[in-house]
Amino acid sequence: MSSRSDHVAAARAQRQLPRPTPDAPPDFRAWIRAGALAASSHNTQPWRVRIDPEIPAILIQPDDDRRCPRVDPNDAHLFKSLGCMAENIRIAAGVNGFDCEIDVCGDTPDIRLTFHRREGPGELERYRAIAVRQCTRSAYDASPLSSAEREALSAAGRGQGVRTLVLEGAESIESVVRFVERGNVTQLDDAGFRRELTRWIRFNPESALEHADGLSAVVMGQPSLPQWLGRAISGLVLKAGPQNRRDAEHIRSSSALAVLVAERDEVPSWVETGRVVQRLTLTATALDLKHAYINQPIEVPELRAEFARWLGRGAEHPLLMLRIGRAAAAPYSLRRPLEAYLAVPAEG
C-alpha cells in the first residue's frame, strides 16, 4: 500500500529540474518534463508530444482520450492547458540558451514550438518557479497585495489580445462569491458533471500514484478513502451547500482575484490565455504568492455572458479566473512519466 509520504516523495522527485545551462546542447526531454509541470484542467495532462530534433521543434497535440466534454464541451480548457505547457517549455528552453517561437497550426490544431540559439540567461526566476508553483486550495491570510505585487501581476498577465483584470475590494469580491455560488449550484446539480469530475478524483495515495494524474485527495486536503467508496459516496459529498461555504470563505480570504479576458474566443486565443496564466502564476509563485482557479462563472454557459457584462467588458471574453494570496504550501500534484505522452521518433 502506498502512503501519503510516497505521494509527497514522488511529487518532489518529479520537480527536480536541471540547473540552467545556457551553453549546453538542447535538452528536449528536460524541457518537456518542465512543460508537464504546468497546470491542466482537472490535472488531465491532455497532451501528446513529439520532438523533431532536426528543425529543432516540439509539437504539442491534444490527447482526445483526456477530454472533459461536460465541463469543457468546446475544448477551451484543454487548449488553455496545452498553452500552459507550451509556456513552461519556452521558459525552460530559454535558460538552456534557446529562444522559442510558439504557433498554432494545422487542422488538429497542433501547437508548434521552434527553437533558435541566442545569448543571455533567460527568465531565471520564472524557471525556478516552475518546480515550486502549485494550486493551493486552502484559505489564505486575507492580507492585501502591495502595489509592486499588483503591478508585477498585471504586467505578467498580458499577452496577444489577452489581459488580466485584478479585482480587489469587498464589493467586487462579494459579487464574485455570488457568481461562484450560482455556478456551483448549476454544476453540482448536474449528474453528468459530477460523474465526469468523479472520474478524475484519486481518492487515496495508491490510486493517485497508479494514475499519476487527476485530482488527488492528498493534494485537496481530503481524507483517504478506498476508490470504490469514494466513488459510491461522491454524490453525497459533491453538493452545492458545503462547496459554496468553502468557496466563499476561500475567496474572501484572498488578497485579490485575477480574471483573464481575451479579445477572441477561439483556439489561438485559448492557447495564448494558457501561456499568459502560466506566466502570471509563475510570477505570483516567484513573489511567494499562492493561487487557485475559480472558473465556475466562466464554465457555466448561462452565467458567462452575465459575468462578462458585470466585468464591464462587453466585447471581451472572460476565459479564466483565479484567486491569489498568501498561505502555506499544500502537497504537490503528480505527473505521468514522459513515456506516457512522448512519441518516440521512428528510427532511420
Ligand X SMILES: Cc1cc2nc3c(=O)[nH]c(=O)nc-3n(C[C@H](O)[C@H](O)[C@H](O)COP(=O)(O)O)c2cc1C
- Kindly list the residues in this chain that would bind ligand X in the complex (CB under 6 A): 39-43, 77, 80-81, 84, 134-135, 137, 215, 292-293, 295, 333
Task: For residue 104, give the 3-state DSSP assignment.
Answer: strand
CA distances for 51 relative to 26, 32, 60, 170, angstroms: 11, 9, 9, 48
Q: From the CB of 59, what's the least distance to ligand X, in Å?
A: 20
- In this complex, which beta carbon is closest to ligand X, that of residue 208 or of residue 225? 208
User: Residue 206: which residues within 8 A CB-CB, separation 6 or more?
Assistant: 1, 2
- In this complex, which beta carbon is closest to ligand X, that of residue 97 or of residue 230? 230
Separation CA 15–CA 128 (nearest Å): 10
User: Residue 48: which residues within 8 A CB-CB, separation 6 or more?
Assistant: 60, 61, 62, 63, 341, 343
- In this complex, which beta carbon is closest to ligand X, that of residue 115 or of residue 285? 285
CA distances for 152 relative to 147, 163, 324, angstroms: 9, 13, 13
Separation CA 230–CA 225 (nearest Å): 6
Cβ proximity of 215 and 42 under 8 Å: yes
Cell of 93: 528552453
Closest by Cα among 143, 141, 147, 179 to 259: 179
- In this complex, which beta carbon is closest to ligand X, that of residue 282 or of residue 308? 282
Q: From the CB of 149, what's the least distance to ligand X, in Å?
A: 20
Q: From the CB of 295, what's the least distance to ligand X, in Å?
A: 4
Q: From the CB of 134, what's the least distance to ligand X, in Å?
A: 4
- In this complex, which beta carbon is closest to ligand X, that of residue 97 or of residue 247? 247
Return the amino acid letter for 240.
A
Q: From the CB of 112, what's the least distance to ligand X, in Å?
A: 20
Q: From the CB of 300, what's the least distance to ligand X, in Å?
A: 11
Separation CA 156–CA 151 (nearest Å): 9
Cβ proximity of 211 and 159 under 8 Å: no
What DSSP designation does 215 have?
E
Q: From the CB of 302, what's the least distance to ligand X, in Å?
A: 17
- In this complex, which beta carbon is closest to ligand X, that of residue 293 or of residue 310? 293
Separation CA 208–CA 259 (nearest Å): 30
- In this complex, which beta carbon is closest to ligand X, that of residue 322 or of residue 342? 322
Q: Parallel, antiparallel, or unpaired: how do β-strands 215-216 and 201-202 relate?
A: parallel
Task: Give, to the nearest 10 degrees, the angle between helix 191-199 and helix 227-237.
Answer: 150
Q: From the CB of 110, what's the least distance to ligand X, in Å?
A: 18
- In this complex, which beta carbon is closest to ligand X, that of residue 12 or of residue 117? 12
Bridge-partner residues for 100, per DSSP? 115
- In this complex, which beta carbon is closest to ligand X, that of residue 57 or of residue 330? 330
Q: From the CB of 22, what's the least distance to ligand X, in Å?
A: 27
H or E element at residue 207: helix 205-211
Q: Which residue is nearest to ligand X (CB)?
A: 39
- In this complex, which beta carbon is closest to ligand X, that of residue 137 or of residue 304? 137
Closest by Cα among 250, 265, 23, 273 to 137: 250
Q: From the CB of 272, what's the least distance to ligand X, in Å?
A: 13
